[in-house]
Structure 1
Amino acid sequence: MHTEPPPHDLLEKWLNVHATVEGRYGHTLLEDTGLGTVEAVSALRAYFESAHVDARQHFHDFVGMSLHPDDGARGSNAKYPNCLPPKSHRGLFGEVLSGLFTEALPFIGRHEWLVPVFLFRNHEDVQQYLYTLARNPERKREVIGRKGDDFIGLVVNEDGNVTRFIAGEAKWRKTWTPSKLDEVMLGKKVAVDDGSDDKVHDGKGVWFEINRALNVPIGLKQMQDLLQDLAPDEYQGVILSLDRVLQLENADPVERTDLIVLSGGGAAKREVGESLLEWQAVPKEYTAGRDLQVVELILKDGDNLIDSLYKTLWT
């Protein structure tokens, strides 16, 4: 289970916070103060280990090696998540931040969010990658991203019933230029079928995915299965509540909050306090009509931070 609280002291020193709420839209811009990689990694390590510990146990069991294999032992080259390619680390980084920020920051609605476990064990391609890598260290490759929700958090009332959940979509870019932002949010550019050289966004970016997301997504079922496997007694009420939420007919109502986390470096001409997305009103591209929370994390040396962090987990 995920049990480590967010490193609040680090967040206060590491990030300048600019937060606004307009109706059902919350926007939070976080800017790196230049604290330094060593101190940031030291403070983040425990939280990231807690976020990954379930998947680490699951994948290591599947591969057939101990949770903490000795260096040089067969399979020790395939430790999760350290051994994954850099691109995968960047994806995981944003997904863990989704949980960290949900627990640590005042989001839209100011709900008390519960993050009992992260969903990382549901990454089928990572499981295949680790199994093969442990038996053939030369078989390194890129890893296909995990399907489904990047992150799920819950609101549980005093009766133990799940009344709301937050579903996160996390994106990392080394540098957030306007063109890269448009590609992420609006989709890749494709040729117009009119004989010209014009190109338009294909409309299959983050806005498309979040607008068409199910009110009760598969991530809730994955969360229920994890709780049933890891802590059935402690979370009995939550598990039963999710049974009623997940049934196809006459399901219990549940509210959904959408979360978008964009992290990476700022463009060369970016000014201090400049956000990537609209913050004064709900972006016109968002049409789902639910509570929406956007978090933008602008880092000064994000690549070094991520590489250093994932290199030192469990070492």
Structure 2
Amino acid sequence: MDKWLEAHGTVEQNYGHLLLEQKSKIGQDLVDALRPYFESAHSDARDHFHTQIGISLHPDAVDGPLPVSYPNCLPSKAHRGLFGEVVAGLVTQAYQKEFVGGHEWCVPIFLFREHDDVEKYLWALRFDPTRTREVYGRHGSDFIGIALNAQGEVSRVIAGEAKWRASLTGSVVESLLFGPKEEDENTGEMVRNGRGIWFEVNRDTPVPHGLRQLQRLLEQRDPDGHANAILSIDLAVFGQGPLPGRTNLVLLVGNGAKRREYLDCLIPWEEAPKEYTAPHDLQVVEIILDGGDLLIDKLYASLWQAA
């Protein structure tokens, strides 16, 4: 990460802002370095989807290449959404000391199998490789991480909104944060509809639904290793134990605007934005790339392809 990105972070009370600027060109070395983390992030969903559509991952199970291979065969637009969500986990783990609160975050599993439209897409593609289309986005938190206490119980959760955009201009970010423009019924003017990231983050439930999804996946994949974490989530959901503390993460990643200057931020870093009204800690991460589209294409084409 240090070779790829230059970090500039601040923390003021319950607000953290981290600007990550690309400082080296995107090349094969970076793709090779990122590949293991991305394969690990997608491995649970890959096992799940391939089992669901009836394609074995065993190298001796088929002759020739697989007709469907998650996540490689998804449309490029879907790869960009997935990239942002994986990077949210990567950055949270790599820069946890720079995050607000200094908590020790872990990401035991990603929630990518909780994406019904991907399964439908792969199912159709399995029987007819010509049936390509765009994929609807997954609902709920883009990213969930947890902090564990000495007993292995979930003491805190970080819930993230991760957004990729090819060009992070001011108007693009404004649309992400405040929603797209719509015609005002009274004035006829085009105004933001107010249903952007701040709207979603501010009204989310105290225990994010993604934490329950993570718990169910841990019950299947590692019930013994995360037994106390699983139990503590149950107790919180049923009101029989304390609610875990919460940190909200807003991550924007994409190529810098043409006229952007060094250290320019898209979200104010001095203090938490006034539009953020949730009672929880807020961590903002801005990742400014150059040639990010090429990186994503190369990375997702390489997953499970390297010898």
Bin of the TM-score, shorter chain as denominator length? over 0.9
Q: Name the residue aligned to 1:4.
A: none
* Aligned 8 A contact 1:70 1:76 in 2: no
Q: Name the residue aligned to 1:43.
A: 33
Q: Does 1:131 align with 2:123?
A: yes
Q: Deviations over 1:213-247 (max 9, x none)?
A: 11101111101100000111111111111110111
Cα distance between partner residues in 2 of 1:137 and 1:71: 19
Specify the SS of the correspondent of 2:252: strand
Structure 1 stretches of 4+ with a deviation exceeding 6 A read none
State the aligned residue count: 303
Evaluate the alpha carbon distance shift between residue 75 and residue 148 of structure 1 in structure 2; reply closer, same or farther with a 3 A threshold.
farther
From 190, 204, 219, the equivalent of 1:228 is 219
Cα distance between partner residues in 2 of 1:152 and 1:188: 26
Cα distance between partner residues in 2 of 1:274 and 1:228: 44
Where does structure 1 lack aligned partners over 5 or more consecutive residues? 1-10
Specify the SS of the correspondent of 1:193: coil
Specify the SS of the correspondent of 1:155: strand
Q: Does 1:13 align with 2:6?
A: no
Q: Deviations over 1:118-164 (max 9, x none)?
A: 00010110011111101100110000001111111111101121110
Cα distance between partner residues in 1 of 2:133 and 2:266: 32
Evaluate the alpha carbon distance shift between residue 288 and residue 137 of structure 1 in structure 2; reply closer, same or farther with a 3 A threshold.
same
* Aligned 8 A contact 1:227 1:235 in 2: yes
Q: Which amino acid aligns with 1:20?
A: T
Deviates more, 1:34-43 or 1:155-164: 34-43
Q: Does 1:191 align with 2:194?
A: no
Evaluate the alpha carbon distance shift between residue 121 and residue 58 of structure 1 in structure 2; reply closer, same or farther with a 3 A threshold.
same
Q: Name the residue aligned to 2:168.
A: 176
- The offset of 1:38, in angstroms, is 1.3
**Aligned Cα RMSD in Å?**
1.6
Q: TM-score, normalised by structure 1?
A: 0.93
Q: Which amino acid aligns with 1:26?
A: G
Specify the SS of the correspondent of 1:84: coil
Cα distance between partner residues in 1 of 2:181 and 2:255: 22
Cα distance between partner residues in 1 of 2:29 and 2:205: 40
Where does structure 2 lack aligned partners over 5 or more consecutive residues? none
Evaluate the alpha carbon distance shift between residue 258 and residue 52 of structure 1 in structure 2; reply closer, same or farther with a 3 A threshold.
same
Q: Name the residue aligned to 1:6.
A: none
Identity of aligned residues (%): 51
From 6, 21, 25, the equivalent of 2:15 is 25
Q: Deviations over 1:261-286 (max 9, x none)?
A: 10001111100010110000101111
